[in-house]
Structure 1
């Protein structure tokens, strides 16, 4: 019966253009390659190479078998890598939760690096509010969380501060607030405010309710959608709105209490005393770089 080594000879001979080149690649003598290919043809009862010319070329049957052989070799390599990952104690799944407002370009680069480095660890990305993420961390439904800092420190989690995310107060360009050269708290009170809160109704202390008239959502993308419909005003992450502000699609409010850009602290959180494997340790370290100030 044919074996992996013979399939490798077939693929390399076809791709390198000769049995001799395949022999050099595998560190064997050419006669071993010729015999290996011949034995494979006997086992399959097919002629794989046309040897009538100076340079052996795949026959039509050989072309078909070549494609399957490549797939088998790829799967074999994947199996070998999986075994290596298990031997290295790499986790099979990492559950990462993040407030979607924190999806910076650097965050996306970390995910791309994760995919390139850990082919045999699955990643589950869960988007949620910071309050819901912290609760799910304590219930061990999530391995890692990226959240806006909880001002009421919880003993059940271990936070690690990684930076500040800038926010702008914004509204639709045709909103009534755009007529004001300076916007005070008393001006904001009179207009619908858009705020985020979680499944249990908790909202972050960093975003206090100013107006009595409020619409709620569980994501900043939804708040942004409300603003584009000219429903109200809200504080949104700068990286989400800067391009649209420049294009005149959103309006940055000149709020008097914001002498400087309002920046919200961000933490990575894990359950108290959690033991990290090699994959989670790598991800934890890389996520510390997703906010540049």
Structure 2
């Protein structure tokens, strides 16, 4: 049996956003259109996917079990479309990449060299963003692709894949900061000093990012480079990508020896399933996902 892509997309968005009305706004359709699409899907499957007895539709057990299957179908459809675009040609005029400071790789620089050589007339733009801001830039069409620290989940309209490289994070303070004088630092020591934390435009400050407690005192910035500058001025301690400290701190920061740190962070690349990737973006995506050659 063939299932309507519109019905599958309506179902996935309703689950992700928590209501049919929110899904309708997201997809630019009426609420009745979304309700009808989901009803057709339920009729095709012979199952109730939502319990409509409550104020907000709630997934039934069958709906919960089938959600992953629906997401697999949407992902497969996206891969088919990307493969067809590669075969059909038709170079897009511009590719924009939203890039997190989490991601630093010699392979990335090599890919840009290859991109320039392969598509010399292509306009390329790099945007620096983090976490939710990367997701918003891609979802809104402002960025073609995004590289960011792996998130627990993404909106249904986005495709995502794990790149081979990982990022290392440590906790850092200025050389003259009192914490830098301690040979070993406990979380209770950190709680007495100001935390410098990432707070992107699209994120809530109260997000649990797994950092040690700060005693309620914190300053925030939308990217790691600004946090690094705050840390070098002695304003507090910060979680930072170790490559960024090595390349830009000029010996002005000290890495704290805290149990459980440094930490390794997976990195994802994301793209919109609602906007067809051109040949250059498809090529760059595939190259970013390739594993670097073994040394």
Distance in 2, matches of 1:291 and 1:169, equals: 28
Distance in 2, matches of 1:93 and 1:276, equals: 11
Please tell me whether residue 95 in structure 1 is matched to residue 96 in structure 2.
yes
- Per the TM alignment, residue 120 of structure 1 is displaced from its structure 2 partner at its CA by 1.5
Checking the alignment, whether the CA contact within 8 Å between 1:159 and 1:268 is kept in structure 2 is yes
**What's the counterpart of residue 265 of structure 1?**
266
Checking the alignment, whether the CA contact within 8 Å between 2:161 and 2:269 is kept in structure 1 is yes
CA deviations 1:40-63 (Å, max 9, x no partner) are xxxxxxxxxxxxxxxxxxxxxxxx
Aligned residue runs from structure 1 range 51-130, under 5 A: 88-130=89-131
Aligned with residue 180 of structure 2, among 169, 178, 181: 178
Aligned residue runs from structure 1 range 1-293, under 5 A: 88-162=89-163, 163-202=165-204, 205-208=208-211, 210-211=213-214, 212-242=216-246, 248-258=251-261, 261-272=262-273, 274-289=275-290
Distance in 1, matches of 2:132 and 2:208, equals: 10
Q: Say which SS state the counterpart of residue 176 (structure 2) adopts.
A: coil
Distance in 2, matches of 1:100 and 1:174, equals: 25
CA deviations 1:23-43 (Å, max 9, x no partner) are xxxxxxxxxxxxxxxxxxxxx
Distance in 1, matches of 2:292 and 2:244, equals: 14
Checking the alignment, whether the CA contact within 8 Å between 1:164 and 1:291 is kept in structure 2 is no
CA deviations 1:216-263 (Å, max 9, x no partner) are 111111111111111111111111123678x743211000232xx301
Residue 224 to residue 207, structure 1, CA distance change in 2 (3 Å): farther
Structure 1 stretch displaced more, 267-276 or 174-183: 267-276
Distance in 2, matches of 1:128 and 1:136, equals: 9
- Per the TM alignment, residue 101 of structure 1 is displaced from its structure 2 partner at its CA by 3.7
Checking the alignment, whether the CA contact within 8 Å between 1:104 and 1:239 is kept in structure 2 is no
Residue 126 to residue 292, structure 1, CA distance change in 2 (3 Å): farther
**What's the counterpart of residue 21 of structure 1?**
none
Q: Say which SS state the counterpart of residue 287 (structure 2) adopts.
A: helix
Residue 284 to residue 151, structure 1, CA distance change in 2 (3 Å): same
Q: Say which SS state the counterpart of residue 147 (structure 1) adopts.
A: strand
TM-score (norm 1): 0.63
- Per the TM alignment, residue 156 of structure 1 is displaced from its structure 2 partner at its CA by 2.4
Superposed CA RMSD: 2.6
CA deviations 1:139-196 (Å, max 9, x no partner) are 2222111111112443221110113211111111111112222211111111111111
CA deviations 1:122-144 (Å, max 9, x no partner) are 11211112211102222222211
Distance in 2, matches of 1:149 and 1:207, equals: 14
Structure 1 stretch displaced more, 224-233 or 269-278: 269-278
TM-score (norm 2): 0.62
CA deviations 1:4-28 (Å, max 9, x no partner) are xxxxxxxxxxxxxxxxxxxxxxxxx
Q: Say which SS state the counterpart of residue 102 (structure 1) adopts.
A: coil
Structure 2, unmatched stretches of 5+, are 1-87
Distance in 2, matches of 1:270 and 1:88, equals: 19
Checking the alignment, whether the CA contact within 8 Å between 1:195 and 1:207 is kept in structure 2 is no
Q: Say which SS state the counterpart of residue 264 (structure 1) adopts.
A: strand
Structure 1, unmatched stretches of 5+, are 1-86
- Per the TM alignment, residue 105 of structure 1 is displaced from its structure 2 partner at its CA by 3.2
Checking the alignment, whether the CA contact within 8 Å between 2:101 and 2:224 is kept in structure 1 is yes
